[in-house]
Structure 1
Amino acid sequence: MITMNIDGKLAAKILRDKLAIEVVELKSRYNIKPSLTVVIVGDDPASHVYVKNKVKQTQEIGMISNEIKLSEDTTQEYLLNQLEQLNNDDSVHGILVQLPLPKHIDESAVISAISPDKDVDGFHAMNSGRLFNGESGALVPCTPQGCVILVKQHLGNDLSGKHAVIIGRSNIVGKPVAMLLLQENCTVTIAHSRTKNLPEVCQQADILVAAVGIADFVKADWVKEGATVIDVGINRILTDEGKIKLVGDVDYHAVFDKCGAITPVPGGVGPMTIACLLKNTLAAAKRCAHQP
Structure 2
Amino acid sequence: MLSFFCFSRHLMYSFNHLCFCEMYPCLFSITLQFLFGSGLILLKMLSEYVDISKCLPSLSFEVVQRVVEILKHFNTRTCQLVLGAGAMQVSGLKSITSKHLALASQIISFVHSLIPDIRRVLFLKIPEARKHLLMSELDRVTQDYKVHRDEIHTKLVQIMRERLLANLRKLPQIVESWNGPDDNDSQPSLFAKAVTKEVTYLHRILSQILLEVDLQAIFRQVVQIFHSHITEAFSKLEVSSPQAKNRLCRDVQHILVCIRKLPAQNFSSEPVRNYGLLDEFLAEKFGTKVDE
TM-score, normalised on structure 2?
Answer: 0.28
Structure with greater strand share of residues: 1
TM-score, normalised on structure 1?
Answer: 0.28
Q: Which has the higher contact order (CA 8 A, sep 6+)?
A: 1
Question: Of the two, which has the highest radius of gyration?
Answer: 2
